[in-house]
Amino acid sequence: GESVGLHLPTLSVQEGDNSIINCAYSNSASDYFIWYKQESGKGPQFIIDIRSNMDKRQGQRVTVLLNKTVKHLSLQIAATQPGDSAVYFCAENEPGGFKTIFGAGTRLFVKA
Amino acid sequence: ETGVTQTPRHLVMGMTNKKSLKCEQHLGHNAMYWYKQSAKKPLELMFVYNFKEQTENNSVPSRFSPECPNSSHLFLHLHTLQPEDSALYLCASSQGLGGKEKLFFGSGTQLSVL
């Protein structure tokens, strides 16, 4: 099976609150991770990435945290907005290969 | 827009039909991919092309036939499909080949096989 998975299939948050989407990976040799966002009717779009030599990386309203000890990745979205409603996928690189391995996805609902 | 265009957006076909999906990227990328996205399943890699040479066929049935005439265009030819092939087919491209490359996806073709 896939080595990347997600803890929750859906997440519902109030507009303005912070969102945290979690992801577990099983291959300790993976050294590059990406979060993608897929809105309805569109393909996945790159949000933010992180390499294994880092444990935190910040973007605009998004932060990715990497805990290599427990093989856990999270995406934090600050001040969640209705436009953040989408499915979020974590992905990792295939160690020694060239593939991107995707997790199952978490659907984020933002309540007004 | 992502710079990756897929046509058609929607396709309904019978099991005896032959159809083709088209993908074009305007990003100057060297690698192109076909993915299948089914409900409640992770994205499944189908085919990979690098500099228009196929580098991966991820155990895809022969009723799916890819074609990459150049680095900017990718086709997926479909024939004698099964209802379980109904899914969203996504094309993606990346600058180079590798799991550390950012993928740029098109909006996909929603395929229904009757």
Residues 6+ apart with CB under 8 A from B74: B22, B23, B24, B25, B32, B34, B49, B66, B67, B68, B91
Residue B40 has what pLDDT? 62
Residue B73 has what pLDDT? 97
The helix (H) or strand (E) run that includes residue B78 is strand B73-79
Residue A7 has what pLDDT? 45
Least CB–CB distance from A100: residue in B41, B103, B106: B103
Residue A2 has what pLDDT? 38
Q: What is the pLDDT of residues B9-66, one digit of tens each?
A: 999 999 888 999 999 999 999 999 999 999 767 899 999 998 878 887 778 999 999 9
| C-beta separation of A86 from A35 below 8 A | no
Residue B59 has what pLDDT? 87
How far apart (Å, rounded) are the C-alpha atoms in residues A88 and A75? 9
Q: What is the pLDDT of residues A65-76, one digit of tens each?
A: 999 999 999 999
Least CB–CB distance from A102: residue in B40, B42, B107: B42
Residues of B in contact with A99 (CB under 8 A): 45, 48, 56, 99
Low pLDDT (below 70) residues in chain A: 1-8
